[in-house]
Structure 1
Amino acid sequence: MRQRSLIAITAALAAGALTLTACGSRDSGDKGSSGSGNTTVVIGVDAPLTGQNSATGLGIQYGAQIAVDDANKNKTVPGVTFKIQALDDKAVPATGQQNASQLVAEKDVLGVVGPLNSGVATQMQQVFATANLVQISPSNTNPELTMGKNWQTNKVRPFKTYFRTATTDALQGAYAADYAYNGAKKKKAFVVDDKQTYGAGLSKIFQEQFVKQGGKVIGTDHVNVGDRDFSTLVTKIKNSGADLLYYGGQYDESEVLTKQLKDAGANIPLFGGDGMFTPTYIKTAGKAAEGDLVTSIGVPVDTLPAAKDFVATYKAKKYPGDYGTYGSYAYDAATAIIKAVGQVVKDGKIPSDARAQIVDAVQKNSFDGISGKIAFDEYGDTTNKQLTVYQVQNGEWKSVKSGTANPKS
């Protein structure tokens, strides 16, 4: 997933992000809060923890937290205590860049999980690359982040420090198009996006693939982040004769759009990507959400035997946020960093080039995570290409199909 950019960034927001301080220490006398070793290694987390997208952002924070707690409890890396330092980017790219600089400056930070939004990632990648600090996003899906701007014709990896446990929109958009045409039997789509990196990219791929499947795109339009009145757009969609609305963007706008669309008498499903896949969408849209569809990465976490303990822990701790969207992928991202630290840090001793060594170790790592097999290809993309279509049924997201995408050329 994902991008969200806000026009105004107040000094208060920037100051709020910068007041968060590192909690790590390499002092041999510092036992840390969990007591699993005498050297503290910090794993940074960057995500929107307040405001827009905070439900999914908090799921990332606490998914990583559970991985760290498990590593400390199991003494996964002898002589090392792991800690999380979570910074709030508020889904603002510039704030994410500030957070990246802050994490780089803290010598105890040996890896970062995040961000949530693809647009935020574009402003963080160079900062981490310059410092040889590994970054693993559990949710970014824009193909350009790993394969460059010309990824469709000439794949070039921009930053060797960037990885992700989420598969890309190149597959998500194609999987949605295939299901829309062949599964839901929709033939005429109206396509809308929010003009952001994630939304515009995803809707473009859906549009291309839907046409290649045999469908017809009978209208396109855009909305702005923060819009709440979609009356003009709703009239346009209703009059178009479309039997499906595909939306590239996030739940903040789509949950309002679908309600206004149904209230106007256009009883057609709204289909979107993982940016919509949260219980918040259903809570806000209410009955209007019934029948709506999304694609999301992987398979339902509640069905994965390896994730059983993770889900139980998240619920028992009563952590805020939504673990079901990216929580397990954040857990696995943090675990990939922890395993790499274990290969580099011996007997609690951190080498001077630890960050660079950890990048190389992450690239070579391969293990069974709670979300599936965790390994990275030559671009830093996950080798796990599983996707799932969910539909709102009786007020809940229910999985209707899981598999892998086969984009039409």
Structure 2
Amino acid sequence: MAGFAFASAQAADNTVVKLGFAAPLTGPQSHYGEDMKNGLTLALEEANQQNIQLDGKPAKFELVARDDQADPRTAVQVAQQIVDEDVKGILGHFNSGTTIPASSVYNDAGLPQIAMATSPEYTQQNYDTTFRMMTSDTQQGAAAGEFIVKDLDAKKVALIDDRTAYGQGLADQVAKAVEANGGKVIAREYTTDKANDFTAILTNIKDDQPDAIFFGGLDAQSGPMRRQMVTLGIKAPLVSGEMTRSETFLKLAGDAANGTYASLAGVPLKQMAAGEKFHADYQARFKTEPGVYAPYAYDGAWNMITAMKEAGSAEPKAYLPKLAKLQRTGATSSDIAYDEKGDLKEISVTIYEVKDGKWEMVKTMVSKAN
């Protein structure tokens, strides 16, 4: 009994800091959500080993996870549930289409939010609570559009997007960059994030004879799309965003995957500031390879925890100013900092190509936001 009393006393001496998390944890996008969740979990487990003192007590971090099903309406409901759990900050959501409506719930509650969402609208709402884990679509789209025109020498470009906030937003930015670099958007087609037959759309595009086709959307669509392009005899390369740069795309596209390009915010894992260590730690903990989003989620969690450490408090009002002025070296970069909107100041985008059934780096572009 004495031992139990001692353990209870130790537990009472801790301050439990709940951090909210929401992403698709079921359905066709669940692999994205699980990858993100694993990165967060690794960060919180490391933090719990460091005896971090917050509000005068050792902090124990806990993740309050909810499945938003990649659905905007569900995301708002989930956001309110998370707020009601008395969390001290939000690490999520994943999709732009869920993050943006949920962000108003968190802002109303005064909770800092660090999201994976890449749509520029997320941080353009004039909330002081919104921050990113990754480069925005404005920055990624500019790099992808420039690559299409200058590196692929594609003067005539066709666009397809899935009408989600992510897919449409990224395609919009690519369209602007294509035109800005001297190319021309000759066709714009639309689909949904549930579709898997793109024959009619691709047939229309084939008649326009594009030099390249850009798709804004998920790997669950880009995989079948690439196969159907080959079946129709379309020689133009498929270019897409970071959601296509996945093992799922390679499986779905099969032999047709070769020659596909994808832009991805950030630099390859091996070139990240502490990428090799993160890779080793992730493999040891989860017995699998990290996906695209895990290291960014890991840094997002540590960004929030670092701000709390600097403030000496888990209270949002106390650590929010520290988060806004954050400067730290993380797994993904040696220069993590936010601008006045909550966008990352360092802009890094890498282009990959599928060669012999594997994603290989083509080029990396790193710059600073104005």
Give the equivalent residue in structure 2 for 1:325.
292
Q: Secondary structure at the match of 1:324?
A: coil
Query: Which of residues 218, 228, 235 is equivalent to 2:196?
Result: 228
2:346, 2:366 within 8 Å by CA — same for their partners in 1? no
- CA drift of 1:198 comes to 1.3
- For residues 319 and 98 of structure 1, what CA distance do their matches in structure 2 show? 33
Give the equivalent residue in structure 1 for 2:84.
105
Higher relative contact order (CA 8 A, sep 6+): 1
2:273, 2:330 within 8 Å by CA — same for their partners in 1? no
1:145-193 C-alpha deviation (Å, 9 max, x unpaired): 1124xxxxxxxx2x11111021111111110111111112222211111
The answer as to 2:327 corresponding to 1:366 is yes
| Structure 1 counterpart of 2:274, one-letter code | A
Give the equivalent residue in structure 1 for 2:124.
147
Query: Which of residues 259, 268, 273 is equivalent to 1:291?
Result: 259
Give the equivalent residue in structure 1 for 2:316.
355
Q: Which moved more, 1:74-83 or 1:361-370?
A: 74-83
- CA drift of 1:361 comes to 2.0
- For residues 43 and 71 of structure 2, what CA distance do their matches in structure 1 show? 26
1:189-232 C-alpha deviation (Å, 9 max, x unpaired): 11111112111111112112112211122211111221122111
Q: Which moved more, 1:98-107 or 1:120-129?
A: 98-107
- CA drift of 1:73 comes to 1.7
Give the equivalent residue in structure 1 for 2:11.
31
1:44, 1:103 within 8 Å by CA — same for their partners in 2? yes
Give the equivalent residue in structure 2 for 1:47.
23
- For residues 120 and 164 of structure 2, what CA distance do their matches in structure 1 show? 14
Paired residue total: 359
Q: Secondary structure at the match of 1:31?
A: helix
- For residues 147 and 391 of structure 1, what CA distance do their matches in structure 2 show? 32
1:146, 1:162 within 8 Å by CA — same for their partners in 2? yes
1:296, 1:388 within 8 Å by CA — same for their partners in 2? yes
Give the equivalent residue in structure 1 for 2:355.
393
| Structure 1 counterpart of 2:43, one-letter code | A
Q: CA RMSD in A?
A: 2.1
1:63-104 C-alpha deviation (Å, 9 max, x unpaired): 011111111123244611112222111111122112211111
Give the equivalent residue in structure 1 for 2:151.
183
| Structure 2 counterpart of 1:242, one-letter code | P
- Structure 1 regions of 5+ residues with no counterpart? 1-26, 149-156
1:29, 1:38 within 8 Å by CA — same for their partners in 2? no
- Per the normalisation by structure 1, the TM-score is 0.83
1:156-305 maps to which residues of 2 (within 5 A)? Answer: 157=126, 159-305=127-273
- For residues 219 and 306 of structure 2, what CA distance do their matches in structure 1 show? 34
- For residues 241 and 367 of structure 2, what CA distance do their matches in structure 1 show? 14
1:345-368 C-alpha deviation (Å, 9 max, x unpaired): 46xxx6xxx122222221122111
1:364, 1:376 within 8 Å by CA — same for their partners in 2? yes
- Structure 2 regions of 5+ residues with no counterpart? 1-6
1:190, 1:217 within 8 Å by CA — same for their partners in 2? yes
- For residues 133 and 154 of structure 2, what CA distance do their matches in structure 1 show? 31
- For residues 279 and 214 of structure 1, what CA distance do their matches in structure 2 show? 33
1:48, 1:116 within 8 Å by CA — same for their partners in 2? yes
Give the equivalent residue in structure 2 for 1:338.
305
1:257-277 C-alpha deviation (Å, 9 max, x unpaired): 111111111122110111222
- For residues 313 and 41 of structure 1, what CA distance do their matches in structure 2 show? 23
1:31, 1:40 within 8 Å by CA — same for their partners in 2? no
1:165, 1:374 within 8 Å by CA — same for their partners in 2? no
| Structure 2 counterpart of 1:384, one-letter code | E
- Aligned CA distance change for structure 1 residues 215 and 406 (closer, same or farther; 3 Å): farther
Q: Which moved more, 1:383-392 or 1:207-216?
A: 207-216
1:174, 1:405 within 8 Å by CA — same for their partners in 2? no
- For residues 317 and 401 of structure 1, what CA distance do their matches in structure 2 show? 31
Identity %: 33
Give the equivalent residue in structure 1 for 2:341.
379
- CA drift of 1:303 comes to 2.6
1:237-289 C-alpha deviation (Å, 9 max, x unpaired): 22221121111112121111111111111122110111222111111111111
- For residues 85 and 220 of structure 1, what CA distance do their matches in structure 2 show? 40
1:97, 1:124 within 8 Å by CA — same for their partners in 2? yes
